[in-house]
Amino acid sequence: MLKPADHDAYISAFMPEVQVLLQQMRATIHSAAPLAEETIAYGMPTFRQRVNLVYFAGYKHHIGFYPTSAPIVHFANDIKGFKTSKGAIQFPLDKPLPVKLIKRMVKWRLSEVLKKI
């Protein structure tokens, strides 16, 4: 995939059933960080407020959510059922997105960023 111009272009490149989940992820993040700007970083949809807050991406079998490493550590007990890495969580395409958890993680990440300014 070429570097998309914006979130809409990124999401439109996926199959309709994946687009639904990507739009849901986008709306969930936006509701948790309404002042964050939508941008593209590392070829992925990104939400930025002073710094890049979180990223997300679509894949063949999952939606990748990249809240950076600190939220992964902070919410370790809440994300035990998902495949994770140092800074990412994989949400399978065949399961509903954990919207409440994503909101909590975004809000926590935002609060940590705002504490540093």
pLDDT in tens, 47-65: 999 999 999 999 999 999 9
In this predicted model, what pLDDT tens digit does every residue of 86-113 receive, in sequence order?
A: 999 999 999 999 999 999 999 999 999 9
Give the integer Cα–Cα distance in Å for 96 and 13.
21
First and final C-alpha spacing in the chain: 36
User: CA-to-CA distance for 97 and 21, rounded, in angstroms?
Assistant: 7
Give me the phi and psi of 97, to 5 degrees please: -65, 140
Alpha-carbon distance 25 to 86, whole Å?
20
Spatial separation of the C-alpha atoms in residues 7 and 10, rounded to whole Å = 5
Could you state, in order of their start, the residue ranges of all structural domains in the chain? Answer: 7-115
Model's pTM, two decimal places?
Answer: 0.95
35: Cβ–Cβ under 8 A, 6 or more apart, which residues?
A: 49
- Band the pLDDT of 1: cuts 50, 70, 90: low
| Pairwise CA distance, residues 94 & 31, whole Å | 23
CB atoms within 10 A of CB 71: 24
Q: What is the pLDDT of residues 11-54, one digit of tens each?
A: 999 999 999 999 999 999 999 999 999 999 999 999 999 999 99
pLDDT band at 78 (very low <50, low <70, confident <90, very high): very high
Q: Which CATH architecture has domain 7-115?
A: Alpha-Beta Complex (3.90)
